[in-house]
Structure formats: structure tokens, C-alpha cells
Chains A and B, each alone.
Chain A
Amino acid sequence: MQHNRAAGLDRELKKGSAELLILSLLEDQSRHGYDLSKLIEARSDGVLKFRVASLYPLLYRLEKRGWIQGRWIEKAGQRRRRYYKLTPAGAQILKSQRSTWRAFADAISRIAGIDHA
């Protein structure tokens, strides 16, 4: 049951709401692509998984829209990595998407009686 629910939610997320996830995760700090994929997987207890083939095109699209910005950053003793951070435009979008998503989630729980706490 949980698996079915997760699969459904996964599809839903990937269809229209993946962007919200990425933007939320970049709200507090810059992160690189692998970090993002791990966080999504960890915070959803392994329910949500982003593969390279879907994650990076999404990142590049968001970057192209000017919502996030990627920069190569070198840290001591490490290879350089490309870190993404939220741009002011991205922050604005996150804010509006968040409220939309809340309304959507509320509507679903009212109709289906799902307790999504």
C-alpha cells in the first residue's frame, strides 16, 4: 500500500512538483547535484529517487530560467564541484509554488481523508 502510494506520489512529483522539491532544498544553502539526490532520497525515506538522467536536465532547466544558479567551487582537498544556489527569482517562485502546493495537498486530504501529517 505504502509502495503504491509512494509510486503515485513519485509520478505526481516528477510531473509537476519536482521543481518545488529542488527549490526547497536550496532554500537554506547551496548544494551540488549528488547532494540533492541523496537528500531527496533520505528525506523521503527512500520513497523518492532522482536519477542522473532526470535530475540534471531539471537542474539545467531551472538554471536557464534563472531560478537557481550553478557555480564551480573548489574546496581544499576536493575536486571542484558545481554548486547550485537559489536566486532571488527562484525564492519568489518557491514562495508562490509552496502556497499552491499546500492548497493542492489540503484538497487531496479533504477528499481522500488521507492523513498526511
Chain B
Amino acid sequence: MPSWGEEIRRRLTGLRLAPAREAEVVEELSQHLEDRYRELCLSGVDEARAIRDSLAELDDSDLVREMAAVERDYAIEPLAIGGGAPAGSARILAGFWHDVRFGARLLMKDKSVTVVVVVTLALAIAANTIVFGLTELLWLRPVPVANAQRLVAIFASDERSITSRDPLSIPQYRDVVRQAAVFDSVAAMVGRQFSLTGADEPQPVIAVLATANFFTTLGLDPVLGRLFLPGEDAAGRSNVAVLSHRFWSARFHADQDVLGRTLILNGTPHTVVGVLTPSIELGSLSVVDVWIPLDTASSTTRQRDRDIAVYGLLRSGQTVVSANADLTAITQRLRKDYPVTDGHLQIHALSMRDANVSPDTPLLLTMAGIVVGLVLMLACANVGTVMQARASARQREIALRLALGATRVRLVRQLISEGAFLGVLAGLVGVALAAAAVPGLRMLTSDPYTQTLDINGTALSFAAVLSIVTPILFGVVPALQSSRPNLNEDLKETARIGPSRRLHHRRSALVVTQVAFALTVLIISGLVVRSVFARGRVPLGIASNDVLCVRVRLDPPKYVADESRVRAVDAMLARVAALPGVDAAAATARVPVFDPEPQRQFTIVGRPPAGDVPWAVEATMTPRFREAMKLPLLDGRSFNDDDRETGARVALISREAGKRYWPGRSPIGQRITLLNGAGESADAPITIVGVVDDVKGISVTEPAPPRVYVPLAQRVSESVVVVVRTSRDTSLMAALIRSALRGEDADLALSEIRPLDAMLDTRLFQPFHLVVALFVGFATIGLVLALTGVYGVAAFSVGQRKHEISIRLALGATSTEVTRLVVARSFRPIAIGLALGAAGGWAAASLMRGLLFGTTVLDPSIYITVIGVLAVGGLAASLVPARRAAAADPAFVLKQE
């Protein structure tokens, strides 16, 4: 008897049927031929004839054509039972598509399961994509200058300083330029506010003064004209200006003829020679209006004017490490040469990547990464539970298929294809969620650079990788497990009264994992959020509510002598104080907490120098400043109108300064001499007349620094901040104050008038709005996933044990007993998960010790709260299915079985 199948398959070759369909057609047609052959044989026909006649059934020139017409788009019956994967790449691919289509159809049938799985994974993918996007933007993306790879930022640090990234002074910059061997060039810049006059109303502009080699060091190009020429930063040659692209577009409407125009900056004319590329307009550089040359030859004050940012271009072959070795050697020499001013100096270099973010940012991003990583694992565990529940429901089907000869590879491939389908779907939804969240997140930050956050190609690739990896995390393991079932056990499953011990352990492990991961996420998020809120509760030492601030510039040529500036300030304050609704009007050089303030060293008259030179933050104030800021006087007297430039030189000090330098005694009447930048006592001694309460410095997480206040009249500067306490509506008052100031001098360059509250919020808290939003979001997702996960496992496990529970109920167990039994079974894995999670939280919190403020690694209130929430939530989640099981009618359930 011939092989009918082969004969038929040969004739159908041209049709290129899908393997499963071909197998089906061949089987059906073979049977027909077989029947025909047997019948012919039985009727006495000889075998040769019987074969010939049977095969003649296939002889029809129309067979292939007819079949082709019919078979086009033929819907294949799902998954033929048994058989291995067909050979040949085309068939493997066809098999793959078949699997995906079959999986998709199966999942669409189970819509609620699919929605749960996709939403769960999508949330985790969205959270990960957002954190990746932030990390890429803030930390990984190179700065947009040509020499980014060889560029380092050079900072000074001082062991007594509150930050470790202080700028340098110009003499220190000159020392680095002269002595460093590792750099091709070293450039410096400093930002200043200027008043631009000449056209309409005087306008404050942000100028950056930069050395002539600044643009070549960074590798920046002009879009119009030229940048600075070598030597153009020398005194007398520096009257040129380069416009920022933004300023050129806004103020000059991108006019090509701007070259050669004159800008009057602080009364000095500057000729526009070029326009800088817009690529540099990021972060703080995005507000720069104009670039002018920085003369580094003349300044001699080593300490007072430490405000320039320095960049070095590494010679080829040099690294940040070798640069730091070189800078340490230079520092040693400077400490020896200038013991008073540079005795505690350390100059060091950071790569541009590290310099561009605050020191906390990499750690914060790492913690965010850990948190979203855990959320992803949590989501995978959740989905794993769902998939396992489905796999268990199909256990008998799978066992049957294996028994009938289906290969493991074939089954695993089927399960993985289902996972891949879910992963891709979740990836798409996740990216959409992340893209939808980004505009909201951008609104939460005031940092112009962070506001450029976007789901770009890199973030999309990351999301794509996650979509592929997550199905492997949650799909392959259950797939491998369910494809290696114990056939005997699984086929007999219904005969038993409960799930196997193996299944029970696997499920408990899932609950342990979910609870542990969720607790770790909650602890990290709780500590981060608590740290941020603790910053908000720090007493600053000043009352910022109902206070308006406006910065005023008293620049040449109108204001040259200190006397003219003091007179102008007095007159302005008199006008403002006369406005209705003004409670107090005062002036200072810098707004405490908001502005960086200079530190001054001083000597105490009558006390021989011993050890470290005393230092304090130097601040200035007019008599009513204390009243405007509600700064309490603790001892002595405050400044009054007699403390003028011609009067006796007096000072107030802060409580911290008194405690530090006059411990156990009153500093009133003591005299100090402020030292100049070179460490010499140039000024006349100052008498301390009073002590005021502490006020924080620029970093609110550090203790309040010692402060020395001198009367503004005795140390006036070109830039003064007018501070007004008012009991009236601040927006109305702002207009009145502006016109009062303009009434004194119509050409005055004024900044925007802003409430101090808002200014401090921008500086102190707004950077953390995004952090709080992210961590609260992650913690919420983590909690919801964990609770739904525990619920899912409990419900599944109750479902599997309904037979057992019914027997218990039928034998007289009360529903309370059954509920207790089910909840008790969930309790053990939840408790283990909580213990592991607390340990994980502690380990993660130890990593971020540097970020914590106002809380500790083992903050009991955080641990107790989140453990309580998770324990109660977890037990409640297992209670729901337990009660449902206890309420079931045992007779009905047992009959169903």
C-alpha cells in the first residue's frame, strides 16, 4: 500500500499551505484514499488496480487551482495537537505567527485578565521609562559642547565651607593657569547682573564675563560674526560683546545687522561682535543675555571675590584623576604661600557629567532607579501570579497535549509567545502613559534643563527593551514549570482535594516577594518624602511671608561714590516707607537663605591669633531690616539712623557667632577687625553692639553659619535688595513700590518685584516637587501592586482549595473557622515578606544616608507606618476571598466537582 500522505503532500506542494492546515488536509484526503483502496480490494480488484484507481481520485487538473481558490485566507483551526515543530525556517516563522495569533486570540477571550496584566506592566514600564529619561537627561547625556569629553570643571572646597563646590577667586584661577600642566587651556566665567541703558527704560540684563579663551576651551561656535579674540579680555580691549541667541532673537528680532551695534552696559559701551550658538542655552546658561570679556589680570583679592567658574580642557592622554593629582600639588603650594586665605583650600576637578548635576542627583537617581526596578519586579511577580493561575487552569490541557506527543519546546514557545504579545502591548501602553505624564512632571520643576525632559528615542529604546525583557521575567519560568508537569499528578488533579505542596510553596514565595519588594519601595519613598518635607519645616530664622523683594542696581556713571549710593538708598526707602500698607522698608546687599553670601575672616581685638582664623558670613542691613524680616534681637541694641558712614563702626552678630567665638560671655562691646581678601586687616575695628538670632545660609540642611551684620551705610554695594513688609495685597503693593522707586530715579534698573515666600520656594522646595511627585507615585503603584498581588494569590489559592473548604464546611466547620484558616495561611508569607522588606529597606536606606535630612536610616515612624499599612492591607486583601469561600454553599461546590 503506498503512502497516500506523501502522494497528496507532493501534489499540494505548490499551494504553500500553513503547516497545520496542510497536515489537516493531508490527513482527511489520505483517509478517503485509504477507504477507497480497502473497498476496491474487498470487491476483489487486484492490488495494483486498486492503487491505480485510488490514486486516480486525485487526478483532476483542477485540484490545485480549486484548492488554491478555497484555501486563500483559510482560518486555521487552533493548535493541532501533538507533533513537533515542523522543519524549515519558513515553517518555524509560520509557527511563530501562529503562536502569536493563537496567544492573542486566547488573551482577547480572557479580556479582564489581559487588561489587568497590561495595566500592571504598563505602569511599571512607564515608571521605569520616566526615571530612565531623567537619568539620561540629567546625568548621562553629554553637555552640548564640542570638547565635552576632555572638559573638566574646577572647584575649590574648604573644610569649613558648607558646600564642596565653591567657585575660585581670580588670583586662584591665575595660579591654576600658570601652574597646571595637565590642561591645554583653562577658562573662567562669572555671571553678573548689568543694567542695559540707552534705549527705552533701563533693563537689567544677565551678562556672563568670560575669559577670551572660554569659547575655544569649550568648543563653541558663533552663529553670526565672531567670538572673543585672544587678548580681548585684557584691560582696555574688553569693550566687545557677544549676544546669546535667545537675547538676539528676542531683543533684536534675529537681525543680521546687529554686528557693530553698541550696548551700554553699566554705562560702558560694548560693541556687538557676534551671536553665540543656542546649543549652550541650557540650565542656568539659558538666562544669559550677553557675554563680555573677563579681565583676570587686575584682581588681587584671593578670598573675597571667590565667584568664578573655571573649566579646564585636558591635554590628550590626561584624565580627571591625573588632573586632580596636579591640582592637589598646586593646592599644597598655595596653602603654603597664602596660609591665611588658602590655608584650608582644596582645588579639585570633576568631569562635566558630574559637575552638571548637584552632588545629590546621582544618588537620588540611583534610588529612583532601585525603586522603579523593584516596582517592575513587583509587576512581574503580579503578572506571574496571573499567568500561573492561567497556566494551572490549563495544567490538564497541557499535560494531555504532552501525553499525546506535543514537544516541550512547542509548548514553551506557545507560552512565551503569549508573554511576548502581552509585553509588547504593555510596552505600547506604558510609553503612552509615560508620555502623558511628562508634561505634568515638567510643570513640577523650575529647572529649565529638567523642563526639557522628553520621551526621546533613547527612552523609547529603553522601554522597548523592557517590553522584551519583562515577558522573559514573568513568562519563561512559569512556562518551563508548567511544561514539565507531573503527568500522573496533573491528570489526576481533580481527584485530589487540594493543590500540591509544590504549588503552595511557589505561591507563598510569590507573596513573600511581593510584600518584601513593596515594603522596600515604601521605606525608600517614605524616607525621601520625609526628608523633603523636613526641609520645608526647617526654621530659617526669618519670616518670609508678606515680604516683597526687589533688586536695584546703583551703577556708574550715575552712582560712583558710596555716598551717592547711600543717599539713593535712604531716599528710596523713605518713599517706600511712606506708601500706605508698608509696615517696614529696609535694604540689604543679599537676601539671606536665597542669595549666596560672602564669608569674611576677622580677628578679635585683644585676643592673640591662635589656631584657625575666626570667620563669619558677612551681611549688611539698614535699621529696619530686623523688623521687615522679623529677626529677633537677643542682646544689646539694633542699628539705628545714627549708624552712618561717618559714625562709629558697629556690628551685630548672630547667636552662633557669639556662641562660637565668645563662649560663655557676652560679646557686646567686643571689637573685631574684618580681614580683606589678602588676609590683612585693612579696615578699622568694629564694635559689636548687639546679638540677633540665627539665620540659615544658602543650604538649609546645614547648621546656621556664624554671621556678622554691618550697617548698609557703612558698606554699600552696587547691588541692593529693597525688602518691604506689607500687610496688603502683594501684587498691588508691587506696582506701588515700583512707581515709588522710579519716582526717585526714573533710570533705575529694577528686577521683578517678587514675594520672598515665592523666591524661597523656587530655591528651596521647587527642585523637590518633582522628587516628591515621583516617589509618592512609585510608592502608590508599589502598594497597589502588592495588595492586588496578595489578593490575586489568595483568591487563586482559595479557588484551588474550594473542594477542601467545601468538605470542611460540609463536615461542620463554621465560616469563621474557614475564614481564619485561609487568612492564617496568607499571614505567614506576609510576615516573612515584611521582615525581608524591612531588611531590604534598611539596606537601601543605608545607601542613601547622604540624602536623608530630618530623618534616619531606621526612622521608626516610617517603618511602623509602612509595615502597618502593608500588613493591614495584605490581610484585608486575603480576607476578601476567604470570606467568599466561607460563604459558598458546600453542596453546590461538591456537586460541581
Residue numbers of A with Cβ under 8 A of B are 32-34, 37, 51-58, 60-61, 64, 79, 81-82
Interface string of B66-84 (1 = CB under 8 A from A): 1101110010000000000
Contacts of B270 in A (CB 8 A): none
A54 contacts B66, CB within 8 Å?
yes
Contacts of B70 in A (CB 8 A): 57, 60-61, 64
5 example contacts (A-B, Cβ-Cβ < 8 A) are as follows A54-B60, A54-B63, A57-B67, A61-B66, A61-B70
B59 contacts A53, CB within 8 Å?
yes
Q: For residue B43, give the distance in angstroms from its CB to the closest CB of chain A.
A: 13
B545 within 8 A of A: no
B363 within 8 A of A: no
Q: A34 with B32: in contact, given A57-B67, A57-B70 (CB under 8 Å)?
A: yes
What does DSSP make chain A's interface, helix, strand, loop or mixed? helix
B28 contacts A82, CB within 8 Å?
yes
Residue among A32, A34, A52, A56 with the highest chain B CB neighbour number at 10 A: A52
**Complex interface residues of chain B between 28 and 49 (CB less than 8 A to chain A):** 28-29, 31-33, 35-36
A34 contacts B58, CB within 8 Å?
no
Residue among B32, B36, B56, B58 with the highest chain A CB neighbour number at 10 A: B32
Given contacts A57-B67, A61-B66, 16 further A-B contacts (CB under 8 A): A34-B35, A34-B36, A51-B58, A52-B29, A52-B33, A53-B59, A53-B60, A56-B28, A56-B32, A57-B69, A58-B66, A60-B67, A60-B70, A61-B70, A82-B27, A82-B28
Q: For residue A27, give the distance in angstroms from its CB to the closest CB of chain B.
A: 22
Contacts of B56 in A (CB 8 A): 51
Contacts of B612 in A (CB 8 A): none
CA distance A82 to B30 in the complex (A): 12
Q: For residue B28, give the distance in angstroms from its CB to the closest CB of chain A.
A: 5
Contacts of B27 in A (CB 8 A): 82
Contacts of A55 in B (CB 8 A): 32
A52 contacts B57, CB within 8 Å?
yes
Q: A79 with B31: in contact, given A53-B62, A53-B63, A60-B67 (CB under 8 Å)?
A: yes
Contacts of B62 in A (CB 8 A): 53-54, 57
CA distance A61 to B35 in the complex (A): 23
Contacts of B58 in A (CB 8 A): 51-53
CA distance A105 to B69 in the complex (A): 30
Residue numbers of B with Cβ under 8 A of A are 24-25, 27-29, 31-33, 35-36, 56-60, 62-63, 66-67, 69-71, 74
Q: For residue A60, give the distance in angstroms from its CB to the closest CB of chain B.
A: 4
A34 contacts B29, CB within 8 Å?
no
Contacts of B67 in A (CB 8 A): 56-57, 60
Contacts of A51 in B (CB 8 A): 56-60
Q: Which residue of A lies closest to B25 (CB)?
A: A56
Q: For residue A16, give the distance in angstroms from its CB to the closest CB of chain B.
A: 15
Q: A52 with B66: in contact, given A60-B71, A60-B74 (CB under 8 Å)?
A: no
In the A-B complex, the 8 residue pairs with the closest CB atoms:
A53-B60, A57-B66, A52-B57, A53-B63, A60-B70, A34-B35, A51-B57, A61-B70
Q: Which residue of A lies closest to B77 (CB)?
A: A72
Q: For residue A112, give the distance in angstroms from its CB to the closest CB of chain B.
A: 30
Q: For residue B92, give the distance in angstroms from its CB to the closest CB of chain A.
A: 25
A56 contacts B74, CB within 8 Å?
no
A56 contacts B71, CB within 8 Å?
no
CA distance A56 to B15 in the complex (A): 15
CA distance A34 to B35 in the complex (A): 7
Q: For residue B2, give the distance in angstroms from its CB to the closest CB of chain A.
A: 14
Contacts of A79 in B (CB 8 A): 31
Contacts of B69 in A (CB 8 A): 57, 61
Q: Which residue of B lies closest to A80 (CB)?
A: B27
Contacts of B28 in A (CB 8 A): 33, 56, 82
B32 contacts A37, CB within 8 Å?
yes
When the two chains form the complex, which single residue of B24, B31, B63, B66 contacts A34, counting CB atoms closer than 8 Å? B31
Q: For residue B33, give the distance in angstroms from its CB to the closest CB of chain A.
A: 7
CA distance A52 to B25 in the complex (A): 11
Q: For residue B446, give the distance in angstroms from its CB to the closest CB of chain A.
A: 64
Q: For residue A49, give the distance in angstroms from its CB to the closest CB of chain B.
A: 10
Q: Which residue of A lies closest to B66 (CB)?
A: A57
CA distance A82 to B32 in the complex (A): 11
CA distance A59 to B67 in the complex (A): 10
Q: For residue A72, give the distance in angstroms from its CB to the closest CB of chain B.
A: 8
Q: Which residue of B lies closest to A62 (CB)?
A: B70
B35 contacts A56, CB within 8 Å?
no
Q: For residue A95, give the distance in angstroms from its CB to the closest CB of chain B.
A: 24
B74 contacts A81, CB within 8 Å?
no
Q: For residue B400, give the distance in angstroms from its CB to the closest CB of chain A.
A: 13
B71 contacts A52, CB within 8 Å?
no
CA distance A33 to B31 in the complex (A): 9
CA distance A61 to B27 in the complex (A): 18
Q: Which residue of A lies closest to B65 (CB)?
A: A57
CA distance A54 to B67 in the complex (A): 9
CA distance A55 to B74 in the complex (A): 17
Residue among A33, A53, A79 with the highest chain B CB neighbour number at 10 A: A53
A56 contacts B29, CB within 8 Å?
yes
When the two chains form the complex, which single residue of A37, A54, A64 contacts B74, counting CB atoms closer than 8 Å? A64
Q: For residue A78, give the distance in angstroms from its CB to the closest CB of chain B.
A: 10
Q: For residue B39, give the distance in angstroms from its CB to the closest CB of chain A.
A: 8
Q: For residue B95, give the distance in angstroms from its CB to the closest CB of chain A.
A: 20
CA distance A40 to B58 in the complex (A): 18
Q: Which residue of B lies closest to A57 (CB)?
A: B66
Contacts of B59 in A (CB 8 A): 51, 53
Q: For residue A63, give the distance in angstroms from its CB to the closest CB of chain B.
A: 9
Q: A81 with B57: in contact, given A57-B63, A57-B67, A64-B70 (CB under 8 Å)?
A: no
Q: Which residue of A lies closest to B4 (CB)?
A: A52
CA distance A32 to B36 in the complex (A): 13
CA distance A60 to B17 in the complex (A): 14
